Amino acid sequence: MKKAYAPLRNEEGFVLVMAIFMLAICSIIGVAAMMTSTTEVDLAGNERVHKETFYQAESGYVVGAEALIEKDAYGAWANNEKFADLAENSYIKIIDGDFLLEGRDDYPAGYGTWNKDHQNDTVEASPDIEMRIGNQYNVDIDVDKIAVRYIVGGGVEFAAGSEGLGVSTHKIVYNMDCVGTVPAWDTGNNRFVRALRLANGTINQATPVSEVIVGYGYVPRQ
């Protein structure tokens, strides 16, 4: 008499388990891709803000150079005098009218070098020039005289007048410390907001700020 054997059913539900497993793997891959995309978007946004703040701060030395040229590196404005009145909420203002008459701001004294930690004044505490344009450009500039240097080879040639009239034998070396930020769009009030400084005059630590330090040599015309 033959015995009857029931077929094995150990593989029942295997397809369902595999489907759940593959679904879990795909979900993990999708979440990882989404997190990567979010990180890349954040990085791109941070890079954009960094570049914008850097370019704004960099524009400050152009304003500083124009202020030097305007007075031929010697002279004074009235404090808070408008250097340029551009439009509504747009201006360039000379905060410290005597900044070109200040003594050298070098350290060690007499070495003609600039050290941010040993300044008579700083751009954070007392900027010389302030630029605000349409609540979008926010730049402050500090201009420091650090050295007066003779132009190499100027002794004989210039004394003889071989270079013509109006030529100087020396240059004045300045340092310009510029800080700037970019505004943020306030959708609720439909305008740009974000001040470089708080009401008490200190730098707003909640805003992204870039700092650019530039050396500038000015040759006075005689």
9, part of any domain: no
Number of domains in the chain: 1
- Cα separation, 175 vs 178, in Å, equals 10
Q: What is the pLDDT of residues 19-52, one digit of tens each?
A: 787 888 888 887 877 777 666 666 666 677 777 7
Asked if the structure places residue 22 within a domain, the reply is: no
Helix (H, G, I), strand (E, B) or coil at 116: helix
For residue 24, tell me if it sits in a domain.
no
Domain assignment present for residue 14? The answer is no
Residue 66 covered by a domain: yes
**CA gap 179, 142 in Å, rounded:** 9
Continuous segment of H or E residues that includes residue 20: helix 14-70
Query: What is the token pair recorded at 37?
Result: 């995309």
In a domain, 28, yes or no: no
Give the Cα separation of 192 and 214 in Å (integer).
29
Structural domain includes residue 6: no
Provide CB contacts within 8 A for 84, sequence distance 6+: 91, 92
Residues of the domain holding 55: 35-218
- Whole-angstrom Cα distance, residue 140 to residue 95? 10
Question: What's residue 155's pLDDT?
Answer: 52
Question: What secondary structure does DSSP assign to 36-89, as a single string?
Answer: HHHHHHHHHHHHHHHHHHHHHHHHHHHHHHHHHHHTTT-----TTEEEEEEETT
Residue 158 has pLDDT above 60, yes or no: no
92-117 pLDDT, tens digit each: 999 999 999 998 998 998 888 899 88
Is 61 inside a domain boundary?
yes
